[in-house]
Amino acid sequence: MDEKENKIMDKSEETTTTEPTDKQRGPQFIPRLLGQKVLCRMVDGRPLNATLAGFNPYEILFDLGNNKRMLIFKHAISSIEFVESNRDRGGSGPLR
C-alpha cells in the first residue's frame, strides 16, 4: 500500500462529533412555559388544565394541583395552549 492509499484510509476512518447549532435545534418553546398555566390537548381530544412543571426530551410533567402531578409522553400531546405574557414576549412583538 502506498502513501496515497494510507492517507485516504486515514481520512475515512476519522469521526467527528459536533454540537448542533441553534439553527439545527430550532426554537425552544417549552422552557418558556415552565410554571405557566396551560391547556394541553391530548391526541384523543381530552383537555388537561394544569401548570407545566418540567420536561425532558420525551416527557412533560404537569402539576394538577392538590399535590397531584401527571407525567405525559410528548407523542401523546396534540397541542398546548397558553396565554402569552409580556415576560415571554420581551415587551412587544412576536414570541421569539
Identify the helix (H) or strand (E) that includes residue 68.
Answer: strand 68-73
* Alpha carbon distance 80, 11 (integer Å): 47
Q: How far is CA 30 from CA 17, 26, 53, 59, in A?
A: 26, 12, 10, 11
* Alpha carbon distance 80, 33 (integer Å): 10
Q: What is the pLDDT of residues 53-75, one digit of tens each?
A: 999 999 999 999 999 999 999 99
Q: What is the pLDDT of residues 40-56, one digit of tens each?
A: 999 999 999 999 999 99
Specify whether the CB–CB gap between 39 and 47 falls below 8 A. yes
* Whether the predicted model's global pTM rises above the 0.85 cut: no
Q: All domains of the chain, ordered by start, with CATH? A: 27-84 (2.30.30.100)
What is the DSSP secondary structure assignment for residue 74, as one 8-state letter?
G
